[in-house]
Structure 1
Amino acid sequence: MLEEIAISGLGVIEDAAAEFHDGFTVLTGETGAGKTMVVTSLHLLAGARGDADRVRAGADRAMVEGRFRLTDAAGEVLEIIDSTGAQRDDDDTVIASRTVNSDGRSRAHLGGRSVPVGVLGQFTTNLLTVHGQNDQLRLVQSDHQRDALDRFGGKSVAKAFAAYSAAREVWIAAVDHLELRRKNSRELAQEADRLRYALDEIDAVDPAPGEDAELAATVNRLGDLEAVRSVAAGAHAALNGASDGGLDSETASALDLLGQVRNLLESSSEPTLRGLLGRVGEALSVVSDIGEELGAFLADLPADASELEKVLVRQAELKNLIRKYAPDIDGVIAWRDQARARLSEIDDSSVSIEALESAAADAAAAVATAAATLTEARTKAAATLSTKVTKELAGLAMKDASLGVTVAPDESGDNDPRRLQIGGRYLHAGAGGVDRVEFTLAAHSGAVAMPIAKSASGGELSRVMLALEVVLAGPGGGSTMVFDEVDAGVGGAAAVEIGKRLAILARSHQVIVVTHLPQVAAFADHHLLIGKSTTAKSVKSTVTLLDRDARIAELARMLAGLGDSDTGRAHAEELLSTAQAQKEDA
């Protein structure tokens, strides 16, 4: 429930505030006083686009604050409060605010916390429904008529619609995948050929991890084979005394000399000398190991330089792979593994065109089944909605009028990308289903029912919208419904009936109405006057709660501009008394 609203810098309103109560509150005032700005402020709280041209001339920004009572609020509202960290006041109310700067930038706050405008809109939409004059124009559109039917259908339609949406999403993905596969089949075949050629080339060489680095070291070694062999042999002879090392055969080897040192130390009884025996033993062990490694190195060296040619050929093969596929052989091996995985995807029979065609057909069948269920639920709801709205119209001075709600298949053209065959027909499987919902109106008995876009006058359209909103609102209370000149194009007895129906609706909902008709205003529980004061430089608006005397004066003005005359006041007082009596009787 909306308790208070404060507006500043919005249109003609410099600063204004109003309190709202349970029941039926009416807002009236002269043209240009700012009634529409009050509705605009509520639209801003509901997440509507904030246009910079709404900001009052000379003001830096426009600001709207609304205080909402959360008692009996829906679970969605409480979830938003918890998820945003919004703070409630001690009286279980929360303040929602929206600012629009003169440069067009907009900010939103909920319970003292900054929130996205969309989140603010979600919060207020659960508490506040604003119906402006544009809603009457939208009512003639098929999509909005379908949405109204779905709202009325409740859980049964919502469940069927959710199933249809899920099935349609799967179907679209399957069809898109199939079309993409068909479109890219030639490219995929070419890619597969390239991958196979590359894999054959790499597999023919069969590189080993790190082989390129090993071959580079081998090439360096074999490039000066005799010099390397001479150095290794000389070092080996020096350690082991081999005669092929280029040394004098009579020259003692390192091992022989170390052996002599060990023997001499062992023959001594001097503790210091004998203490060196351990280190000499270690030296013997190290020298012996080095000698063995040098021997193994010499044994691995090729007998002649012809081995270098073989290594160079192998190195050229590896370099060719590196030039084509990766910076090194390890990268080539990784590329090969990825290529095999990709080729497996392309060649995988599970994603062949035949399999995709089968999946798309199955998905289409699932959508058709879900669509039929949704159509059935809508058709059932349409009959009930038609009956209830027609009954409401009878109470709005359209006694013999009847509203029809038809649910027809939405035929599809040949070039429709979302074309689906259902029951022998090709239908457009849109986001809203395969149905075309249309409201028709027979204004009186015997009249041919025609689409409301063609047959309803402005006054009739206003009453159809009000009747529809009354039916959609249901008996449950707690929400706030705002109507901006819902009585446009209406007068006389019809205006009285609209006022009476709004008063009845206000027993279960908070109803706020902007009107120019005294017959409607007279039925209100609370009357707010939007006034204006004009100076040479600006126009300022004020909001005043009227007592009975002031209310009679305002009704007299609305009747014929006779607020100061006895006749006008008498007429207004009679209208107010009659309306209050009829409201109580209703």
Structure 2
Amino acid sequence: MLEEIAIENLGVIREARVTLSRGLTVITGETGAGKTMVLTGLGLLMGGKADPGVVRPGASSAAVEGRWQVAGRSAVAERVEEAGGSVDDDGTVVVLRTVAAGRSRAHLGGRSVPQGVLAEIADELATVHGQADQLRLRTASKQREALDAFAGPAHLELLGAYRAAWSERTALEAEIADLTARAAERAREAELLRLGLAEVERVDPRPGEDAELQALVARLGNVEALRVAATEAHEALAGEPLGSDETVSAVEQVTRARRALESAAADDPALGGLATRVAEAGYLLADVATELSAYVDDLQADPGGLEVAHARLAELTTLTRTYGETVDDVLRWASDAGLRLLDLDDGGERLRGMTERTEQLDEEIVRLGGEVTAGRRAAGARLAEAVTGELAGLAMGGARLEVDVEDSEPGPWGADQVTFALVPHPGAPARPLGKGASGGELSRVMLALEVALATAATERADDGKGAGLPTFVFDEVDAGVGGRAAVEVGRRLAVLARSTQVIVVTHLAQVAAFADAHLVVTKSAGDEGTVTGVREVTDDERVRELARMLSGQEDSEAARTHALELLESSTVGR
């Protein structure tokens, strides 16, 4: 529950600190005094959108701080710890929200958090019901949501299973449609891949074969030039022009140099080292001369081999022009293409598998949808009975609520249509909620719904004190109600407040008289403009406020007498 809320520079409120307690707390005040700012502050604490326009004129920022009492193992406590915050030893957690021009900041349990974190725990902290909620409850979707909430956690879990099956079925349907629509495209791609792989398989290239062939073509195409170069090199080294008797041997000249050095090495060891190096050069030159001689002997013109190499290189070039710059690129493409072809060929198998899964999900959706519908119909009967009972106490004794759950085509929320209808008096036809009812009747019907839903929530709590239940906030849901009905509205809210904390913003003295705590929002004009404050009133001050609400004159004796009668009668039956 909310133990305390402090507001600074929010709208017309410069500074206010309000201590709250369990039970029924009402907030009253003159029109325009700033009652809605209290709820605006509460909305900020619950992660609502921050509008810089709510900052009090002349102030740089606004701040709202709330102290909530939470259960030790509640979802709120766990989320606080996940966000890095902490819950005090007494089980309280502080929520702070600041709003400045263009930005807002949120703190949870002493740690800065994104605004969304507050929104995540909002439903656990408080449930706000206002005139806007009455309008929303006129829609079929909100009526369905209200009925599902009334049905309880087991029903919501069943609905969650249905929605999961529906979501999977929808995703599979989209994927099947995509596969089917792209079947021709996939077939064309597969055919192109098969043709390419067949061509690569026919040519059967080896890694690096193109480089080898290019070297072979260069050699066979330049045999004569290679022969001349090798012959000249051999003559320079061996001194033997092939086919000639001349002898000009570089090897012999090196040998002579070696011998000369060796003969003088005894007189100078340095020459011995040089002789060794010259000998090594001689051996190397002799080896090269021998290899050149063998190279020239093996170098034969091979027009047929050259033609074969050119033809093979042309085949490889055809592949590289299409599938890569080199043969190695072609081989990599072939490997990737093979894997892609397997994936494409597997499309039919995947399609069969998805179709089978879709059929399974269809059966599951029918089964779960039937169970959801049955749960809604059972809950609908209970909700109609509970609301009708509430209406009897709200001066609508002949009215009743009907909850219709009709079969419809399966959808993401089930296979039925939920409709709330009101029978305003015996013999009258049932009409969809919100049609044909006066403003006062509609307010009472909506209040009866809210009380029935809240009462069901309290009955499901772990104990009779409403542990773990959120705070219920009602924002002028009694609008358009007066007289005896207004008294019954107050009584219903007081009964609800026995189980959990209830905060009500009201303009009706008949409702305010039932409060356990009465807060008044007041405004006054000063040097700094209009200033609004919030204070608790008791005893005579409370009587004066009720008198003001009744007649607009807080000092009227008749109004004071009426206020005292309301306070006395509000204790009866509580």
C-alpha separation between the residues in 2 aligned to 1:182 and 1:316? Answer: 41
Question: Is the aligned partner of 1:429 residue 2:420?
Answer: no
**1:76 maps to 2:75:** yes
Deviation at 1:248, TM superposition (A): 6.2
Q: 1:366 to 1:80 in 2, by over 3 A?
A: same
Using a 3 Å threshold, how does the CA distance of structure 1 residues 523 and 346 change in structure 2: closer, same or farther? same
1:185 aligns with 183
Instruction: Please name the residue that 2:324 is paired with.
Output: 326
2:27 match: secondary structure: strand
Helix, strand or coil: the match of 2:152? helix
Give the stretch that moved more between structures: 112-121 or 93-102: 93-102
Q: What residue in structure 1 maps to residue 20 of structure 2?
A: 20
AA at the equivalent of 1:50: A
What is the distance in 1 between the residues matched to 2:376 and 2:181? 38
1:465 aligned partner, one-letter code: L
Q: What's the counterpart of residue 106 of structure 2? A: 108
Please tell me the residue identity of whatever aligns with 1:342: R
- Map of 1:517 onto structure 2: 508
- Contact 2:23–2:501 at 8 Å: present in 1 too? yes
Distance of 1:67 and 1:294 partners within structure 2: 99
Tell me the residue number matched to 1:471. Answer: 455
- Report the counterpart of residue 420 of structure 2 in structure 1: 439
Please point out which of 550, 568, 585 is paired with 2:559.
Answer: 568
Structure 2 unaligned residues grouped into runs of 5+? none
Structure 1 residues 214 and 93: alpha-carbon distance in aligned structure 2, compared to 1, 3 A threshold: farther
Between the aligned partners of 1:299 and 1:400, the Cα distance in structure 2 is: 124
* SS of residue paired to 2:16: strand
**1:389/1:471 contact within 8 Å kept:** no
CA contact (8 A) 1:160 1:370 kept: yes
1:458 equivalent among 415, 420, 442? 442
Q: Kindly provide the CA deviation profile for residues 555-581 of structure 1, in whole angstroms up to 9, marking residues without a partner as x.
A: 1100111212333222212211221x2
- Give distance in 2, aligned partners of 1:400 and 1:295: 125
Is the CA contact (8 Å cut-off) linking 2:474 and 2:503 kept in structure 1?
A: yes
| Aligned residue runs from structure 1 range 198-277, under 5 A | 198-232=196-230
Secondary structure at the aligned position of 1:541 is classed as strand
Q: Pairwise mapping of residues 323-402 of structure 1 onto structure 2 (< 5 A)? A: 323-348=321-346, 350-351=348-349, 356-402=354-400
Cα gap change, 1:321 to 1:54, in 2 (>3 Å): farther
TM-score (norm 1): 0.84
- From the superposition, tell whether residues 300 and 211 of structure 1 become closer, same or farther in structure 2 (CA, over 3 Å): farther
Rounded to whole Å, the distance in 1 between the matches of 2:444 and 2:324 is 76
Alignment correspondent of 1:87: 86
In structure 1, distance between residues paired with 2:294 and 2:74: 83
**Secondary structure, aligned partner of 1:544:** strand
Deviates more, 1:368-377 or 1:310-319: 310-319
Determine if contact 2:63/2:98 at 8 Å carries over to the other structure.
yes
CA contact (8 A) 2:63 2:96 kept: yes
Structure 2 residue matching 1:453: 3-state secondary structure: coil
Say whether residues 1:123 and 2:104 are aligned partners: no
1:550 alignment counterpart = 541
Residues of 1 paired with 2:244 and 2:159: CA distance?
Answer: 98
Partner amino acid, structure 2, of 1:463: L
CA spacing shift, 1:161–1:279, aligned 2, 3 Å:
farther
How far, CA to CA, are the matches of 1:332 and 1:115 in structure 2? 55
Aligned match of 1:418: none
User: Which AA in structure 1 matches 2:537?
Assistant: L
Instruction: For 1:246 and 1:19, locate their aligned partners in 2 and report how far apart those are by CA, in whole Å.
Output: 122
- Equivalent of 1:152, from 150, 174, 178? 150
Counterpart among 509, 520, 530 of residue 529 in structure 1: 520
Q: Deviations over 1:285-305 (max 9, x none)?
A: 977987897788778866435
1:547 deviates by 2.2
| Distance (whole Å) between structure 2 residues aligned to residue 474 and residue 398 of structure 1 | 25
Q: Distance in 1 between matches of 2:351 and 2:76?
A: 48
The one-letter code sitting in structure 2 at the alignment partner of 1:436 is Q
CA distance in structure 1 between the partners assigned to 2:325 and 2:272 by the alignment? 59
Q: Secondary structure at the match of 2:178?
A: helix
Give the Cα–Cα distance (whole angstroms) in 2 for the partners of residues 248 and 119 of structure 1.
103
Moved more, 278-287 or 179-188: 278-287
Quote the offset at 1:549 in angstroms. 1.6
Deviation at 1:42, TM superposition (A): 1.5
Mapped partners of 2:478, 2:411: distance in 1: 37
Which amino acid counterpart does residue 99 of structure 2 have in structure 1?
Answer: V
Say if 1:54 and 1:253 are closer, same or farther in 2 by CA, change over 3 A: same
Q: Distance in 2 between matches of 1:170 and 1:92?
A: 41
Q: 1:388 to 1:190 in 2, by over 3 A?
A: same
| Identical columns (%) | 45
Q: Structure 1 CA distance, aligned partners of 2:567 and 2:518?
A: 12
Shift of 1:114: 2.4
Q: Indicate the SS of the match to 2:170.
A: helix
Query: Deviation per CA, 1:417-469, whole angstroms, max 9, x where unpaired?
Result: xxxxxxxxxx1422x22221112222344443332222443333332333233
Task: Give the whole-Å Cα distance in 2 for the aligned partners of 1:109 and 1:179.
Answer: 47
Match of 2:369, as an amino acid? A
Instruction: Give the secondary-structure state (helix, strand or coil) at the position aligned to 1:454.
Output: coil
Q: Closer, same or farther in 2 for the Cα pair 1:269/1:47, shift >3 Å? A: same
**TM-aligned CA deviation for residue 138 of structure 1:** 0.8
Is contact 1:167–1:363 with CA below 8 Å preserved after alignment? yes
Change (3 A) 1:58 1:304: same
SS state of the match for residue 446, structure 2? helix
Deviation of 1:2 (Å): 1.0
CA deviation after TM superposition for structure 1 residue 69, in Å: 1.9
Distance (Å, rounded) in 1 between the aligned partners of 2:290 and 2:403 = 101
2:254·2:282 contact (CA, 8 Å) conserved in 1? no
The 3-state SS of whatever aligns with 2:419 is strand
Partner secondary structure for residue 56 of structure 1: coil
* 1:17–1:304 Cα change, 3 Å: same
Q: Which residue pairs with 1:498 in the alignment?
A: 489
Cα distance in 2 for residues equivalent to 1:403 and 1:511: 25
* Alpha-carbon shift at residue 149 of structure 1 (Å): 1.6
CA-atom RMSD, angstroms? 3.6
Asked if residue 98 in structure 1 is aligned to residue 97 in structure 2, the reply is yes
Q: 1:289 to 1:568 in 2, by over 3 A?
A: farther
Q: Residue type matched to 1:365 in 2?
A: E
Match of 1:56 in 2: 56
Structure 1 unpaired stretches of 5+: 411-426
Q: 1:575 to 1:310 in 2, by over 3 A?
A: same
Distance 1:441 1:298, change over 3 A: farther
Checking the alignment, whether the CA contact within 8 Å between 1:151 and 1:472 is kept in structure 2 is: no
Matched-pair contact (CA < 8 Å) for 1:55–1:101: yes
